[in-house]
């Protein structure tokens, strides 16, 4: 039996993009900081990372599609924060954003790591943006590194 598994080593010329919504900026800024820190700590040069800021989570899939189709990035780390409100708007945005991001990954073959938080209240987001539940931006960046390595091995 052959086992294929990725690790955190990436090709020297690998480029990454971090896409992040500005909506709930206090949360998304912390997620971006975690992702950037993780990439740097794992040997990815700052000039090999592009950061793209967008208005909200709804806009993330279309920007991800453009970047993934361009071929300049080995993985996209997508970050945002959708907090439940009093209407169904939350479900539409969170669910369709996730579906759009998966479609981009499947259509292009570029790993698209979904670090868009969908939470009940702001305190839940704070816990996942550097609080008691860690930093989901960092976790998405680690997954991006592993996926780039794994896809290289699967060639």
Find out whether 30 is annotated in a ligand binding site.
no
**Residue 114 annotated as part of some ligand binding site:** yes
Would you say 63 is a known binding-site residue? no
In whole angstroms, how far apart are CA 123 and each of 12, 83, 88, 120, 127? Answer: 38, 10, 20, 8, 6
Beta carbons within 8 Å of 117's beta carbon, 6+ residues apart: 27, 31, 80, 81, 82, 124, 125, 128, 129, 136
Asked whether residue 59 is marked as a ligand-binding residue, the answer is yes
For residue 57, say whether it is annotated as part of any ligand binding site.
yes
Catalytic residue among 73, 89, 92, 133: 89
Q: Is 92 a catalytic residue?
A: no
Q: According to the annotation, is 119 in a ligand binding site? A: no
Compute the CA torsion angle 20, 23, 25, 31 (nearest 10 deg). Answer: -40
28 known ligand binder? no
82: annotated binding-site residue?
A: yes
User: Was 120 annotated as part of a binding site?
Assistant: no
For 71-138, give the DSSP string: T--SEEEEEEEEE--SSTHHHHHHHHHHHHHHHHHHHH---EEEEEEEESSHHHHHHHEEETTEEHHH
Known binding site for 5-amino-6-(D-ribitylamino)uracil: residues? 23, 57-59, 81-83, 114
**Catalytic residue ranges:** 89
């Amino acid at each position: 039996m052959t086992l294929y598994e990725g690790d955190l080593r990436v090709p020297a010329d690998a480029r990454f993009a971090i896409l992040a919504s500005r909506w709930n900026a206090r949360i998304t800024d912390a997620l971006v900081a975690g992702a950037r820190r993780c990439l740097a700590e794992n040997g990815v040069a700052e000039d090999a990372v592009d950061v793209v800021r967008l208005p909200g989570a709804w806009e993330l899939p279309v920007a991800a599609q453009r970047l993934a189709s361009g071929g300049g990035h080995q993985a996209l780390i997508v970050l945002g924060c959708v907090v439940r409100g009093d209407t169904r708007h939350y479900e539409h945005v969170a669910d369709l954003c996730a579906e759009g991001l998966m479609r981009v990954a499947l259509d292009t073959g570029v790993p698209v790591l979904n670090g868009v938080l969908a939470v009940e209240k702001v305190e839940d987001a704070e816990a996942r943006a550097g609080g008691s539940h860690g930093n989901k931006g960092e976790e998405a960046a680690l997954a991006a590194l592993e996926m780039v390595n794994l896809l290289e091995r699967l060639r």
